[in-house]
Amino acid sequence: MTGWSAADVAVVLLSLKVALAGTIVSLPFAMAVAAVLARGRFWGRGILNALVHLPLVLPPVVTGYLLLRVFGRQGAVGEWLEAWFGVTFAFRWTGAAIAAAVMGFPLMVRAIRLAIENVDHRVEEAAATLGASPLWTLAVVTMPMALPGILSGMVLAFAKALGEFGATITFVSNIPGETQTLALAIYSFIQTPGGDASAIRLVWLSVAISFAALLASEALAHRLDRRRR
Amino acid sequence: MRLVVDVSHLLDRFRLEVAFEAGDGMTALLGESGAGKTSLLNVIAGLVRPDRGRVVLDGDVLTDTGAGRFVPPHQRRIGYVFQESRLFPHLTVRQNLGFGRWFTRGVAANGPVPADIVGLLDLEALLPRHPSKLSGGEQRRVALGRALLAHPRLLLLDEPLGSVDVARRQEILPYLDRLIAELKLPMIYVTHDEREIEGRASRVVRVRQGMKVG
């Protein structure tokens, strides 16, 4: 083992970029869906819940294929986005971020929803008597109180995004420098004769990154918790 | 101030059927615990929609099941000091106090707290702290200040001395007296202890098993 090659560094940076973008893009949607699932009472709630969890149980290849059909060049949304905004997802790192976002979405929604359900509803009632509308209450009481859960949801989604393989390779392929994230690079190295050393370096690295992310989220949640106790 | 309440609402063990009027000063709702007093306050505040009935405050119809009218709690301008203080745990005392002011008057929640309220409730030393660092009596005073600063038309107090031990009552009682004397805010005071309201309440409504008994 002789230190890191420029290619290794590029793979890591790309993976972090994809995972971070996926996490940030999905955050507002995850918060909205989690709030609706936690506090909403409406017909079809169960269906929405099942839909959100679908990427967790579907074969990732299926999710990737569906993404290709929807966000690909000829896809319903993909074509429209390219025509109007010049944004392309197919075979681009942005597509990898979308795949990461979709695959991490159920984990993020789940964590945020649980955190919201744990917020004392009576405190939200107090906010209402002080003049805060339901939406304002959500923004300044419920979500801040659920912050540790939101952070842990983000970390989970981020970790999932770093390890995402099936949906990514199906949707945006395995293009070095563009869509080849950590997991895909490790896969490629294992398939290449003599690539073992590189594969092992990346394997250790991905273990280290995931571990650090989990430790960081624990520490963050702990600190937030202590400030309020 | 004139509040007219006439509601019927099914609770776990009995039906709450109460009609009463309240005017300026303190109106006491007196009854055993579990008599339906808190449910009545929740109906007035708009936290509970009654099965049937009306709540009218100064001619303003807040709840009228017959006409299908229901003003949500955040638009009622009725202050509520709950039995548990229900302070916002993620905000400092200063921000807790500023919360209602921000929503009712657009004053920054982090700004200075009016000196009269700070003085009245003796809150100065508590301002930078978080609610979890306060004693039960201190939490009550902050909850009281928080409700007052939202400029309510009517203040609901649910057992403000309940679950505070006798020695600690002096942390709150004198403040309540000052409030009644200085602010002249109409209030509905829920309690099970007649001694708390003696010489304070200008009107007493007794409730037993969800019914008004005097």
Q: What is the rounded distance in angstroms from the CA atom of residue B171 to the CA atom of residue B137?
A: 6
How large a percentage of chain A has pLDDT more than 70?
97
Interface touch B73/A128, C-beta < 8 Å: yes
State both tokens at B124: 């100065």
Looking at residue B161, its pLDDT comes to 83
Cβ–Cβ < 8 Å for A138, A207: no
- pLDDT mean over A186-207: 90
Cβ–Cβ < 8 Å for A146, A112: yes
Least confident segment among A88-92, B14-18, B109-113, B185-189: B109-113
Residue A141: its chain B contacts at CB < 8 A? 88
ipTM confidence score:
0.93
Q: Could you give the dihedral angle defined by the CA atoms of residues B32, B34, B40 and B41, in that order, rounded to the nearest 10 degrees?
A: 80
Residue A122: its chain B contacts at CB < 8 A? 82, 84, 86
pTM of the model: 0.86
Q: How confident is the model at residue B14 (pLDDT cuts 50, 70, 90)?
A: very high
Cβ–Cβ < 8 Å for B46, B63: yes
Chain B: give the shortest CA distance to residue A157, in Å: 25
Q: Tell me: the pLDDT tens digits for B39-60? A: 999 999 999 999 999 999 999 9
Cβ–Cβ < 8 Å for A19, A158: yes
Looking at residue B105, its pLDDT comes to 77
- Tell me chain B's radius of gyration from C-alpha atoms: 17
Q: What is the rounded distance in angstroms from the CA atom of residue A70 to the CA atom of residue A77?
A: 6
Looking at residue B163, its pLDDT comes to 66
**Residue A131: which of B82, B104, B132 has the nearest Cβ?**
B104
- pLDDT mean over B105-114: 72
- pLDDT mean over B143-155: 93
- pLDDT mean over A154-177: 91
Q: Has residue A226 got a pLDDT over 80?
A: no
Give φ, ψ of A121 to 5 degrees: -60, -25
- pLDDT mean over B140-152: 92
Looking at residue B131, its pLDDT comes to 95
Residue B72: its chain A contacts at CB < 8 A? 128, 133-134
- pLDDT mean over A198-219: 86
The mean pLDDT of chain B is 90
Q: How confident is the model at residue A227 (pLDDT cuts 50, 70, 90)?
A: low
Q: Tell me: the pLDDT tens digits for B57-105? A: 999 999 999 999 999 999 999 999 999 999 999 999 999 999 998 898 7
Higher pLDDT, A50 or A86: A50
- pLDDT mean over B145-153: 92
Q: How confident is the model at residue A228 (pLDDT cuts 50, 70, 90)?
A: low
Interface A-B: count of C-beta contacts within 8 A: 72
Chain A: give the shortest CA distance to residue B207, in Å: 24
**Residue B130: which of A131, A132, A228 has the nearest Cβ?**
A228
Q: Has residue A4 got a pLDDT over 70?
A: yes
Q: How confident is the model at residue A134 (pLDDT cuts 50, 70, 90)?
A: very high
Looking at residue A37, its pLDDT comes to 95
Looking at residue A169, its pLDDT comes to 94
Looking at residue A229, its pLDDT comes to 57
Interface touch B147/A123, C-beta < 8 Å: no
Q: How confident is the model at residue A112 (pLDDT cuts 50, 70, 90)?
A: very high
Looking at residue A222, its pLDDT comes to 79
Looking at residue A75, its pLDDT comes to 85
Report helix, strand or coil for B210.
coil
Alpha-helical (H) ranges within chain A are 6-39, 45-57, 60-71, 76-85, 93-117, 121-129, 134-137, 143-145, 147-163, 166-172, 182-191, 196-228
Looking at residue A2, its pLDDT comes to 54
